[in-house]
Structures are given as C-alpha cells and as structure tokens.
Amino acid sequence: MKKIFSFLAIVFLLVITAVFVFSDYLSGNFTSYKIPLDSMAPTISTNDLIAVATGAYEKTLPMRGDIIVFITPFDEKKKFAKRIVGLPGDKVEIKEGKVYVNGKRIQSDRFPDNRYYLTHGDWDYGNEGQIIDVPDNMYYVLGDKSAHSSDSRQWGFVPAKNVIGKATVVYWPPWRWKFIK
C-alpha cells in the first residue's frame, strides 16, 4: 500500500509540474536548461533538466541566493547556471572559505556552513581576502560546488542583460524533482 501511495504521489507531482511548467513554457514564460556539469551540486546535478522562469525579473530584481541561468560574459554561445552572491554595489570577499558581503558573512540555507569556497592566487576576482566591488548592472556569481566551478572568481561579473531567468524546478529525472532554492 505504501509503495502504491508513493508511486501515485510521484505521478501527481510530475503531472502538476508538467502542467505548471509546460503551460508557462508554451506561453513563453519558461524555458528548459540541461545542466552540463556538477558545478551546482548538490543543489542541481549533471544532466538535470531545470525549468527557468524567463519572466522572473521583469518586475523585480534578482536577489542574493537566486540561481540564475545566463549567457556567459566570455562566450555568448555558452549558458551557465550559478548562484548570485554579489548584487550591484556590494563588496564581496572570500575569506577562509566563507563568503562575506559588505563585511558580513553570508549565512542562510542557500549558503550552508559546510560549503567551502576555494580561492586561488592567480584568479582576478577570487583571491583570499580580496575585496571585490560589484559594479552597477552586474552580478557576482559562484557555483555551489566550488572546486568544480568556473564562475566569477575566474572571469568576473555577469552583466544584468545576460540573465536569461531564474532556475525554479528540477523536473528531470523524476526522482530528482524539487523546487530550487
């Protein structure tokens, strides 16, 4: 009985997600993105398909902690998904593996205590203790899996105009279904 209930619950969630995502997808408010690498693990894993809300920032601005999909500033043919750490006007610093914004350590469920952000002496935007000023209309983004992420530490800021949308749901594979936070 428990197995049947679990199966029906999964089917129900998939149907609801499909209706939600694909109705908005058809109206142009959502698009899909396949995660190519593990740089956002454990939040999003390699080969996960995610729904991206392309209209999420039409009336509001992105917030710290949002996972955005964007066109990379170094190659307009590539798209990445990363977490926003620094907003325009912020001062970002990585110190002893932890992220500080405007002098205060970021602490939330989106930035768990066990997450360690690597720094490297050769990076332009991610050396230990370096204070990075985020310019207007730009974002500083990091991958959740620091050691396996090409992000703002190496190549700098994401222009606001490059943001495609907000990652909202992992919808494939079905056993990984979840809202993204």
Q: Which of 27, 34, 39, 45 is catalytic?
A: 39
Query: Is 161 a catalytic site residue?
Result: no
What distances in angstroms separate CA 150 from CA 45, 121, 122, one per listed residue?
15, 15, 14
Q: The tokens 């494939």 sit on which residue?
A: 172
Please state, in angstroms and rounded to a whole number, the distance separating the CA atoms of residues 115 and 98.
Answer: 8
Query: Is 59 a catalytic site residue?
Result: no
Q: Which of 34, 82, 145, 166 is catalytic?
A: 82
Tell me 108's DSSP state.
B
Query: What sign does the dihedral 14-25-36-157 (CA atoms) show?
Result: negative
Peptide bond into 88 cis (omega under 30): no
Q: Which residues are catalytic?
A: 39, 82
